[in-house]
Structure 1
Amino acid sequence: MRVLALIPARSGSKGVKDKNIRNFRGLPLMAHSIQSALESGVCDEIFVCTDSEKYACIAREYGASVPFLRSERSARDESKSIECVIEAVNRYKEIGKEFDALILLQPTSPLRSAKHIKEAYEKFLKYGEDLASVCESLENPLFMRRIENERLCNLLPLSSSVRRQDLQKCYVLNGAIYINAISRLSENTSFNDNPLSYVMSREESLDIDEEGDFECNISESI
Structure 2
Amino acid sequence: MILCTICARGGSKGVKNKNIRKIDGLELIAYSILQAKESGLFEHIVISTDSDEIANVATKYGGEVFFKREAAMSSDSAAKVPVIRDALLRSEEHFKRQFDTLIDLDATAPLRTSEDIKKAYALFKSGDYENLITAVPARRNPYFNLIEELKEGGFDTSKPCSFVCRQEAPKCYDMNASIYIFNRERLLKQDDVFGTKTALYVMSEESAFDIDSELDFKIVEFLLKERRLNAKG
Structures share fold, TM-score greater than 0.5: yes
Structure 1 gap segments, 5+ residues each? none
**What is the match of residue 198 of structure 1?**
201
**What is the match of residue 231 of structure 2?**
none
What is the correspondence of 1:118-129 to structure 2 with a 5 Å cutoff?
Answer: 118-129=118-129
> For the Cα contact (< 8 Å) 1:112–1:205, is it kept in 2?
no
For residues 185-208 of structure 1, what are the alpha-carbon distances to aligned partners after superposition, in whole Å with 9 as ceiling and x for unaligned? 136422355721111111133211
The alignment's C-alpha RMSD in Å is 1.9
Number of equivalent positions? 219
Runs of 4+ with deviation above 6 angstroms = none
Structure 2 gap segments, 5+ residues each? 229-233
Superposition deviation, residue 36 in structure 1 = 0.5
For residues 135-189 of structure 1, what are the alpha-carbon distances to aligned partners after superposition, in whole Å with 9 as ceiling and x for unaligned? 0001111121224343524346xx3242123223211111111111011113642
> For the Cα contact (< 8 Å) 2:88–2:102, is it kept in 1?
no
**What is the match of residue 39 of structure 2?**
40
**What is the match of residue 133 of structure 1?**
134
1:212 is matched with which residue: 203, 215, 224? Answer: 215
> For the Cα contact (< 8 Å) 1:82–1:187, is it kept in 2?
no
Answer with 185-194 or 60-69: which moved more. 185-194
**What is the match of residue 152 of structure 1?**
156
Which protein has the bigger helix share? 2
**What is the match of residue 117 of structure 1?**
117
* Aligned-residue identity in percent: 37
Letter matched to residue 122 of structure 1: A
Could you state the TM-score of these two structures normalised by the residue count of structure 1? Answer: 0.91
**What is the match of residue 107 of structure 1?**
107
**What is the match of residue 11 of structure 1?**
10
SS in 1 for 2:177: strand
Could you state the TM-score of these two structures normalised by the residue count of structure 2? Answer: 0.87
**What is the match of residue 170 of structure 1?**
172
Superposition deviation, residue 72 in structure 1 = 1.3
Letter matched to residue 47 of structure 2: V
Q: Does 1:179 align with 2:181?
A: yes
SS in 2 for 1:67: coil
**What is the match of residue 89 of structure 1?**
88
> For the Cα contact (< 8 Å) 2:11–2:17, is it kept in 1?
yes
Answer with 164-173 or 61-70: which moved more. 164-173
SS in 2 for 1:154: coil
In 1, Cα distance between equivalents of 2:30 and 2:141 = 34
Answer with 185-194 or 68-77: which moved more. 185-194
